Chains A and B, each alone.
Chain A
Amino acid sequence: MDLDGTTHDDDDDVKFELLCDDLLEFILLRLDSPICLVRAASVCKRWRHVIADAGFLRRICSLHRPTVAGLYSVGHQASPIREVKLRPIFIPSPSVAAAIDHRRHLSPVFLYMYRRILDSCGSLLLLEPRLCTFQDITVYEPFTRLYRLINPPAPRESGHCSVVGAYLLGGGDADDEAAGCAAASMSNFRVVCTFYDHHDRAAHASVLDQRNFIGRAGGSLYWATRDGKVHVLNGITMETSTFTFPDNETWSSSLCLDIWLRYYHNRVLRVVDCGGGAARMVCFAGLNLEVFSRPRGGEKWAPEKSVRLPENTLQFVPEGLEGYYVFDSLFETMVTAGAGFVVFAPSEDAPLLFQIDLETEVVTFKLKDRRYNVPQFPCELPWPPALHACV
């Protein structure tokens, strides 16, 4: 490095071209959204070369969580009891709405073709064209408008099995645990179907039912049953395991009822992915949000923190809506969850939704249109983004 100490202001426009590779890489690793990263990779050949490197992309994905583009909904109640057909919607995240043309690239129009969103993971949605048949279920990426039809095969030669759930996971590679946890994208996904065997009358037969589903983390799927058990399907080894919910008291006072009466978008218990394969379990206990985690990556779950909700959310309620601001420990529900966050409603009918970041405990406010009181599936921007051209 030969930096002339007497350099003056006039000709240092080109200075940044002199920056060494290490420093340039450090700087570019701080870009935390795919929008910035894709744009930075189009500045010049050198920047593109640094960013498109496979090692760089792996590191940046481990440093920053994926960006949630927004929430999709087909617009009708997924409740098994009543079904009201409404307009499909997409609610963009504020940062994404400000940066990209979401009306064009993330329009929910395609949802008119489908009855239900079964699941979402990474930048993908899993869609069901006809209710409860699981025929031609479709993996769809709104960004690229690419799709793939999936017809789940029967698990055994007997025709007495029915599909009770279908889920999306990132691509599984038994040799590379990190890859198994990677965000799902069109070039990296698996669909996991669970079946009910009508000949198998064992008590646990329909445990892995979509109605018992409580979330995903670190490439694994989680279900909970009335007996206080949580069931885990390891998405890498495809083995199942079961453990007892860590807080007996909370379970018997509120959660056991929840499992029976509620469904995925109307639950008081969730498992949330917190990056790097870490999972948190989140539940409502009265007016508190209780958070459980596995310290030091061990097997045992322990209480981590407790967030008192009314005190932490009141300041976000806009003027004129205070009347709706009632926390009801019977009807507060987690509407949806994504990497590191949950979205919850304080009571059944209020047009209020709050999003809480489990790491920072920062609460943000969303307004829910009362007519669209529906499940919402988060869709992420591709992370890492595809960077194959001109490298």
Chain B
Amino acid sequence: MAAATDDAGDSNEMIRVVSSDGEHFEMPEAAANLSLVLRHMIEDDCADAAGIPLAVVAAKPLAKIVDYCTKHAAKSSGLTIEEAEELKRFDAEFIEVDTDMLYDLLVAADFMGVEGLSKLAVQRTADLIKGKTPEQNRETFGIVNDFTPEEEEEICKENEWAFQITKPPSRLC
């Protein structure tokens, strides 16, 4: 788990959270505040030593989310261009995960109300969809093709141009 960096907000208090499978995590209050749900619970004094239970977030994605919030809280205001660039690089590396984890992050970030992470995961998923044929998308996301062959033919015919991948020219021009 990432340690809190020097200037992680006014309050240095650590907030404890508990994953659905019983693992405990800690992050600075400024980091926890990036989650709408955690912020409301902190405001309502629900954050105690036992930790805030997150019933639908498993340990694996929660560890990532704590990482994300800690990093972003430490660098939230008055960014220099270099820092903004570094944060961008962090995000790009952070979201390089398999589709399994991506799904967990999408759902958990949405549930916890971490807006930045939610956007990041949504964009990453959209980027994975782009540039793929329907069959490749089904494979990537484990989706069953529920069209009949007749329906598939009709759909292809409607926008034929979108389904033909560029062939190299028959002769060099």
Binding site for B on A (CB under 8 A): 1-3, 5-7, 9, 12-19, 23, 26-28, 30-31, 33-36, 38-45, 47-48, 97-105, 143, 385-390
Contacts and interface: CB of A to CB of B under 8 A. Distances in A.
B134 A5 contact: no
A3 B144 contact: no
Given A3-B56, A26-B122, A35-B162, A43 B143 contact: yes
B141 interface: yes
B122 A97 contact: no
Contacts of B1: none
A380 B171 CA distance: 27
A33 B107 CA distance: 26
A2 B165 CA distance: 40
A30 B164 contact: no
Contact of A99 (B59, B107, B131, B157): B131
28 contacts: A1-B56, A3-B58, A3-B104, A13-B142, A15-B103, A15-B142, A17-B142, A19-B106, A23-B106, A23-B110, A27-B122, A28-B129, A31-B129, A31-B130, A34-B162, A39-B133, A39-B137, A39-B162, A40-B137, A43-B143, A44-B138, A44-B144, A44-B147, A48-B155, A101-B161, A103-B169, A386-B159, A390-B154
Contact of B123 (A17, A30, A45, A143): A30
A282 to B, nearest CB: 29
A16 B41 CA distance: 29
B103 A19 contact: yes
A158 B133 CA distance: 58
Contact of A30 (B57, B126, B134, B143): B126
A384 to B, nearest CB: 11
B12 interface: no
A101 B152 contact: no
A72 B74 CA distance: 52
Interface range on chain B (Cβ under 8 Å from partner): 35 or more
A27 B107 contact: no
Given A30-B126, A36-B131, A389-B154, A100 B143 contact: no
With most chain B CB atoms within 10 A of its CB, the pick from A6, A97, A143, A390 is: A390
Given A5-B58, A16-B141, A42-B152, A27 B103 contact: no
Contact of B125 (A27, A45, A104, A143): A27
A23 B158 contact: no
Query: Chain B CB within 10 Å — which of A6, A17, A19, A42 has the most?
Result: A42
Given A23-B110, A38-B159, 16 more contacts: A5-B20, A5-B57, A5-B58, A16-B103, A23-B122, A31-B129, A39-B134, A41-B155, A42-B156, A43-B134, A43-B145, A100-B162, A101-B161, A101-B165, A385-B159, A389-B158
A1 B107 contact: yes
B48 interface: no
Given A17-B142, A45-B146, A390 B126 contact: no
| B-side interface mostly | helix
Nearest to A37: B162
B89 interface: no
A388 B151 CA distance: 12
Contacts of B57: 5
A125 to B, nearest CB: 16
B58 A7 contact: yes
A92 B152 CA distance: 28
A43 B138 contact: yes
B11 interface: no
B24 to A, nearest CB: 14
B86 interface: no
A41 B91 CA distance: 29
A38 B144 CA distance: 18
Given A36-B130, A36-B131, A104 B21 contact: no
Contacts of B126: 27-28, 30-31
Nearest to B100: A12
A45 B155 CA distance: 11
A381 B160 CA distance: 13
Contacts of A98: 166
A363 B58 CA distance: 46
A318 B24 CA distance: 57
A2 B21 CA distance: 13
Contact of A45 (B131, B134, B147): B147
Contact of A101 (B122, B134, B137, B166): B166
A190 B13 CA distance: 64
B166 A99 contact: yes
Nearest to B161: A105
A47 B155 CA distance: 13
B132 interface: yes
Contacts of B152: 42
A312 B165 CA distance: 35
Nearest to B19: A5
Interface string B1-39: 000000000000000000111000000000000000000
Contact of A40 (B58, B122, B129): B129
